[in-house]
Structure 1
Amino acid sequence: MGSRKSEDDPNVETIETTLEFDADTHRQPQPSEGFIKLIQNDSVILIPRPSQDPKDPLNLPTWHKGVIILLVGLYSAISVLATSGLGAVFPYVVKDYPDQATRATDLLIYPTLFMGIGNLVSMPLTLALGRRPIFLISLLMLAVTGLWCAFSTSLTSHIAGRNFLSMAAGQSEALAPFIVEEIHFLHERSTKIAWYIGVQAAGTAGMFVATTYIVPQFGLKWWYLIITFISFGILALSFFFVTETMYNRADDPLAESDPDQKPTTRESHRVRPEIYGPRTWKHDLKMFHYKANWSEVLIFYKQTAQGFCIPSIMWLLLLNGACLGVYVYHASTFAVILMAEPYNFKSAWLGWVQLVQVLDCVLLIPIVGYGSDLLVKRLSAWRKGMFVPEDRFISLALPIIAVILACVIYGQAGAHPEKWHWMAIAAPYHIGLFAFMSANLVAITYSIDSFPKQGGALLMVICVGRGFISFGLSYSTVPLIDATGYDGAMNILAIICGVLGAITIPMYFLGPRFRRWALRTFWAVDKSL
């Protein structure tokens, strides 16, 4: 028990148990070891270790980090709206293509697929070129393709424009949360990602309400133009405030790889502008901070392929896909059910139903965001300061139970609307979204906590994988309803979510072994593991 020396580096110790740790060690804990010292002498250790350079993104002032969360959240919100917002006003879209109604459904189906393709193309480039240029180029592409769609003169051109728009929007799934993660420490990541998702969901909900009024009154052209104007506005603000978040701390003489340095806490951390030079606007506005390293692209794709072989990552992908499947099912059918007998909802009312998504944010941020960070700190203190990434899984308990109940209630209300209040449709719809956002938050945080150097590739595994799952579900929704009815289809999804939810328990205990196996097999962090 205790620790042993690595064959690769005699200065690096490998923790053999989560329950024992040398409390007197002064070595900065390494996330790559899987088990991390997070609490020491009642102080939270800053992981990763920030350098003393003011230009280190971890040293950004709190207000600047908050602005970055707001801007990437708004980018994600407008991306989600642009790719999925047509569903609520699709009858008005079809009027523009009266003889091509069936083919017009491609405007709704293909965006999810092309968002995944956008991730596959762009995420590797963030390692070769940096996060800032890819993020800004994505925003510019989103605005330009919005103009394309607004002035398209045929359905073929409209579909093509939306496909490229969706590729630009794809970075809202992996790159945007990756940027948020990179400017925050391990003990606060869940909270900050919850705020990011909250901005995204609240922004999308508000603009969804506006969509139900804009399209019927002013037409689809102005809807796209408004999206374009907002995208240009976010682009202008992002140019000034979304700085490069990729930073090589290994070049710092006090880097986290130095085994002789004491752990860094809020109290002990100091920024040294007199040594490294101050952070300046000239530095922040620079587009490319690193020389292009194209070999990183191949490494990224290799790490992505390896990510599909890690059981805990694959399980999180499937859980995300299942929760997304429930949300896609609800989003595709709730309007049809509510507008029919006996509810007789008007089209405009659907936007206000969508606005209730704000309540999902109200639940997500304190329960899964702050709650997860608070829980891992408490459990780390109980383990004599040791943090275990699988502690994040505990916060999945409420969302998993909630999504199962939401499936059952929604299915019964959809099959027998005369016996149920309309809230039996609206409430499960939002509960399903809460479950998906929670699963997404945990998957993002766990992946980067467990494999910080491969975090970008693993985020792409989860985000792109679930996108392809969603694309398949988009095609299967109507046939599944026709074959089994609303109750039968939702019971199937409830069972799938229940099985994947039950796997949380063995995954909590087996996760450390899977992580150590992956580190040893794929990335040779410590061959003696």
Structure 2
Amino acid sequence: MPDHYTEDFKVPQTFTRTDSSNSQPSMRMARLEHVDTEGESLNHVGLLYKNGRIVLQPAPSADPKDPLNLPFWRKFVAIFTLCFFGAMAAAAELILGAMLPIFVLYYAGYDPKYIKVLSDSGGLPKGTDPLKTLSMLPDAPPIWHVYLLASLPVLMMGVANLFLVPLAIAVGRRSVTLATGVLAICGIIWAGFSKSLASHICGRCLQALGAGTVESLLPFIVQDMVFVHQRNTAISGVFAAQGVIIMTLGIGAPYIIIDLDWRWVYHITAIAASCFLVGVFFFVPETRWSRTKAAMRGELPPEAKERDPDMLRVPIDNMRYAPRTFRYDLALFHGNFDFRAGWDALYDTFRTFFYPHIFFVTMLNSAMIATAFAAGYVAAPALLTAPYSWPFLHLGFSLFSVLIASVFAYLITGPVADWIANAVAKKRGVRVAENQIFNLILPTLVGIIGAVIFGLAGSNQSKYPWPVFVTGLGFMAFGFLAANTVGAVYVLESYPQLAGPALVNIASFRCLIAFVLSFKVSEWVADMGYLKSFGMYAGIIGVFALLLPVVYIWGPAWRKRWPANWECRY
């Protein structure tokens, strides 16, 4: 390894090879003639610490247009904008859970505002099974059909992620993000003006196809802009921001429904999403950039070593490269399209999914997201039933637990997780992917505990007061948000040269599997009750949690057995 190191949290500037245009690195595969044996043994992961100081990985080039060379404030504003734009997707899912009883009434031919009268009179009688009562309303469609408004978009998000990242690899991150944002807004508007359940579901699915960016494309963009030792903090912000949006819209949704109409929830969401999308257009630059494996390990390129063997930092070269301009940042496309790279990424997605360490982490994430979404779908009916007897207008306050969960998820799987992973790396010299397994332990345990107490309280409302029920919801939200962050960082650090396909694995397949595990939760709760239903979810999480030690012990061997050592860079 070279003697290159930098100061903590400072951006080094290094020279790099560029194409003949001298302005934009080639988007084709970067080929190396030699790979050192030490890098091979570490699966192409370089030393994160050298002489007790952080080596920035990847090593930025000397080009001012390199996204790693963006000043801190630009990175902060870009990530902040992406966080709140992406949060609209998950917010729509969890907020809709509180609205589902409204849609059951609406599509059964009742005035949805009747639910306020019912809640003000004490709600459904004590001992009533709320979901079974809703399913028996005259002329009501099967309740699981109505609940497709929430569950089917999860499936669409999974499908969308399979193609969004390969497309972003082929044509660029920025253009795909903006296009999918427009698609999501169109879906929200469609849902808001829908005239039937089928049309409503179609609008929701279109929204989900566009909003699927939150699961893989947004973390993909974020990892393009930050260094390895900062990834937990940055990516956790993408998912933790969901709590703020969920809380804001969740509290307001019941008031909007009663004072205006349920359609206005969609109209307001569309307006907010449009504002965030404008922010994305102005503040999020293109981040597609080709790097060699040596640069991914934090190594200085040979040119820099030839100039000065003791060089620690190389300044940006404004003479050899064109400067970054506002016009450049606003351009929709940079460089040539590379659809072959997109196809390769799609192929690599399916190939890497079946690697055991990626498969186990993906399945654990699938169980966590399915449990959190399922709880969001069925929480409102229980809160509206005696003895809880929540007023309908107060339903949104149940999501306050999600806000608290998002704050803790950000802190624990963001700065704290980075500190833990970096501390371990400081002792062993490298930050390997298995460091992240430690960060999965707490979210997994909290998610299991949350599912159990949510099920206990939901089935025994007289014995367990509503704070226990809501706490269970918050615990599951914490597990879901935290596992999202850690899972994304794990796959990124497992295969840094295949960042896009690796993220698609955990983002896409977990949504597909989560749909299978949650789309009939209303029927399961109606038939089996809360305790058995969520005991089943806790058991599924527990099975995959038992495999965490296996992944920690055997993960390095599996990565060595199936390395990302083919000569490519997306």
Given the two structures, how large is their TM-score scaled by the length of structure 2? 0.82
Question: Which residue of 1 is the match for residue 49 of structure 2?
Answer: 39
State the 1:89 CA deviation: 1.8
State the 1:476 CA deviation: 3.3
AA in 2 matched with 1:288:
F
CA 1:251–1:374 in structure 2 vs 1: closer, same or farther (change >3 Å)?
closer
Of the three residues 80, 101, 104, the one matched with 2:90 is: 80
Q: Is the 8 A contact 1:139 1:235 kept in 2?
A: yes
Q: Is the 8 A contact 2:190 2:203 kept in 1?
A: yes
Question: Which residue of 1 is the match for residue 38 of structure 2?
Answer: 14
Of the three residues 52, 63, 68, the one matched with 2:73 is: 63
Distance 1:208 1:365 in 2: 20
2:473 corresponds to 1:449: no
CA 1:499–1:260 in structure 2 vs 1: closer, same or farther (change >3 Å)?
farther
Question: Which residue of 2 is the match for residue 277 of structure 1?
Answer: 322
Of the three residues 208, 211, 219, the one matched with 1:177 is: 219
CA 1:160–1:405 in structure 2 vs 1: closer, same or farther (change >3 Å)?
closer
Question: Which residue of 2 is the match for residue 53 of structure 1?
Answer: 63
State the Cα deviation string for residues 31-56 of structure 1 (Å, max 9, x = none): x52x4300012221110111111110
Question: Which residue of 1 is the match for residue 196 of structure 2?
Answer: 154
2:422 corresponds to 1:368: no
2:339 corresponds to 1:297: no
SS in 1 for 2:38: strand
Distance 1:88 1:12 in 2: 56
Pairs within 5 Å for 1:176-195:
176-195=218-237
State the 1:498 CA deviation: 2.2
State the 1:122 CA deviation: 2.1
Of the three residues 194, 199, 204, the one matched with 2:241 is: 199
AA in 2 matched with 1:306:
R
SS in 1 for 2:412: helix
Distance 1:227 1:151 in 2: 13
2:508 corresponds to 1:464: yes
Distance 1:156 1:492 in 2: 30
AA in 2 matched with 1:508:
Y
Q: Is the 8 A contact 1:47 1:185 kept in 2?
A: yes
Q: Is the 8 A contact 1:143 1:228 kept in 2?
A: yes
State the 1:150 CA deviation: 2.5
State the 1:386 CA deviation: 2.2
Distance 1:64 1:377 in 2: 24
CA 1:152–1:49 in structure 2 vs 1: closer, same or farther (change >3 Å)?
same
AA in 1 matched with 2:329:
D
Distance 1:108 1:365 in 2: 25
2:168 corresponds to 1:126: yes
State the 1:454 CA deviation: 1.3
Distance 1:396 1:64 in 2: 30
State the 1:397 CA deviation: 1.8
State the 1:15 CA deviation: 4.7
The percentage of aligned residue pairs carrying the same residue is 30
SS in 2 for 1:187: helix
Q: Is the 8 A contact 1:92 1:216 kept in 2?
A: no
State the Cα deviation string for residues 272-294 of structure 1 (Å, max 9, x = none): 22332321101101110021111
2:279 corresponds to 1:237: yes
State the 1:444 CA deviation: 0.5
Distance 2:511 2:548 in 1: 22
Of the three residues 139, 143, 163, the one matched with 2:205 is: 163
Q: Is the 8 A contact 2:87 2:238 kept in 1?
A: no
Q: Is the 8 A contact 1:192 1:369 kept in 2?
A: yes
SS in 2 for 1:36: coil
Q: Is the 8 A contact 1:249 1:256 kept in 2?
A: no
State the 1:261 CA deviation: 5.4
Distance 2:262 2:524 in 1: 31
Pairs within 5 Å for 1:109-124:
109-124=151-166
State the 1:439 CA deviation: 1.2
State the 1:336 CA deviation: 1.8
CA 1:391–1:251 in structure 2 vs 1: closer, same or farther (change >3 Å)?
closer
State the 1:267 CA deviation: 6.8
State the Cα deviation string for residues 147-203 of structure 1 (Å, max 9, x = none): 222333333332222221111111111101111111000000001111222212222
Distance 1:175 1:497 in 2: 26
2:101 corresponds to 1:91: yes
SS in 2 for 1:307: helix
The unaligned stretches of length 5 or more in structure 2 are: 1-31, 110-138
State the 1:416 CA deviation: 1.5
CA 1:146–1:15 in structure 2 vs 1: closer, same or farther (change >3 Å)?
closer
SS in 2 for 1:219: coil
Q: Is the 8 A contact 2:371 2:518 kept in 1?
A: no
State the 1:141 CA deviation: 1.5
2:352 corresponds to 1:307: yes
Of 166-175 and 141-150, deviating more is: 141-150
Q: Is the 8 A contact 2:41 2:560 kept in 1?
A: no
State the Cα deviation string for residues 239-294 of structure 1 (Å, max 9, x = none): 11110011124599999584675699997253222332321101101110021111
Question: Which residue of 1 is the match for residue 255 of structure 2?
Answer: 213
CA 1:409–1:77 in structure 2 vs 1: closer, same or farther (change >3 Å)?
same
Of 263-272 and 79-88, deviating more is: 263-272
Distance 1:400 1:144 in 2: 36
AA in 2 matched with 1:12:
D
Q: Is the 8 A contact 2:94 2:377 kept in 1?
A: no
State the 1:392 CA deviation: 1.0
2:447 corresponds to 1:395: no
Question: Which residue of 1 is the match for residue 290 of structure 2?
Answer: 248
Distance 1:421 1:10 in 2: 64
CA 1:15–1:413 in structure 2 vs 1: closer, same or farther (change >3 Å)?
same
Of 263-272 and 60-69, deviating more is: 263-272
Q: Is the 8 A contact 1:317 1:462 kept in 2?
A: yes
Distance 1:245 1:14 in 2: 29
Distance 1:92 1:400 in 2: 32
Q: Is the 8 A contact 1:328 1:474 kept in 2?
A: yes
State the 1:490 CA deviation: 2.6
SS in 1 for 2:434: helix
AA in 2 matched with 1:518:
W
State the Cα deviation string for residues 326-363 of structure 1 (Å, max 9, x = none): 21232122222221121111122220110232211221
AA in 1 matched with 2:380:
A
AA in 2 matched with 1:167:
L
Of 478-487 and 178-187, deviating more is: 478-487
